[in-house]
């Protein structure tokens, strides 16, 4: 099958990620997880990194947190296939805590390029590490997740910081807050669906 230029670029990035050894996280992974979804979508979701299930399957958000993420997407009337989903780091980080060096190497080689090629108009950051990365990449100061559920307009895209869906698994009291954040932004998020190419 012939790939169009955008598909070709994404597939080249994915192939590089799958065999990447640029930081030491490659030593503990089973599979690198490049990302998946609609590369023509104007909505990109960025999480922290693969967990155990994602590491086994090589796909993002397929474990319990992924199940909750699917529910959140359904809640705002979006199918998972209508957005692009990826992570800050593409290999499973120990204790969900990639270090600064791993984040720098992985984002400068891969996430930045995925954003450049896919050109989202709305980035939904899931959790602190993704939000911090996207804020600082745009020269903005990030303090903490008290900004959850609020929309920010940056030069090339809007950013909507949300709590990471996994945080509801560790802290059930957050679940309602997360659901409210998604519902509150339902119409805003859905506007970007209409912009599918
Ligand atoms: S985390 Fe990123 S930079 Fe590190 S080995 Fe995996 S793909 Fe490469």
For the chain, give every domain's residue range.
Answer: 42-195
Residue 111 — pLDDT band, cuts 50, 70, 90? very high
Q: Does 195 have pLDDT greater than 80?
A: no
- Span from the CA of 18 to the centroid of ligand 1 (angstroms): 9
Q: Does 159 have pLDDT greater than 90?
A: yes
Task: Report whether 45 contacts 85 (CB < 8 A).
Answer: yes
- Span from the CA of 99 to the centroid of ligand 1 (angstroms): 12
Distance CA 17, CA 89 (A): 10
- Span from the CA of 24 to the centroid of ligand 1 (angstroms): 7
Count H helices and E strands in the chain, helices first.
9, 6
Task: Report whether 166 contacts 62 (CB < 8 A).
Answer: no
CATH number of 42-195: 3.40.470.10
Q: Which residues on adjacent β-strands are paired with residue 125? A: 46, 161
Longest pairwise C-alpha distance within the chain: 48
């Amino acid at each position: 099958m012939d790939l169009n230029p955008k598909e070709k670029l994404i597939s080249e990035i994915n192939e590089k990620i799958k065999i990447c050894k640029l930081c030491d996280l490659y030593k503990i992974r089973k599979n690198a997880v490049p990302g998946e979804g609609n590369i023509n979508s104007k909505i990109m979701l960025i999480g922290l990194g693969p967990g155990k299930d994602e590491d086994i399957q090589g796909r993002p958000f397929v474990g319990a947190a992924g199940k909750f993420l699917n529910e959140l997407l359904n809640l705002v009337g979006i199918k998972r296939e209508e957005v692009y989903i990826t992570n800050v780091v593409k290999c499973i980080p120990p204790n969900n805590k990639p270090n600064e060096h791993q984040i720098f190497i992985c984002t400068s080689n891969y996430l930045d390029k995925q954003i450049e090629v896919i050109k989202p108009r709305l980035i939904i950051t899931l959790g602190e590490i993704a939000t911090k990365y996207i804020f600082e990449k745009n020269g903005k100061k990030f303090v903490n997740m008290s900004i959850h559920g609020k929309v920010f307009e940056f030069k090339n895209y809007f950013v909507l910081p949300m709590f990471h869906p996994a945080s509801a698994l560790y802290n059930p009291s957050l679940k309602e807050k997360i659901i409210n954040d998604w519902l509150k932004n339902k119409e805003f998020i859905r506007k970007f669906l209409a912009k599918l190419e």
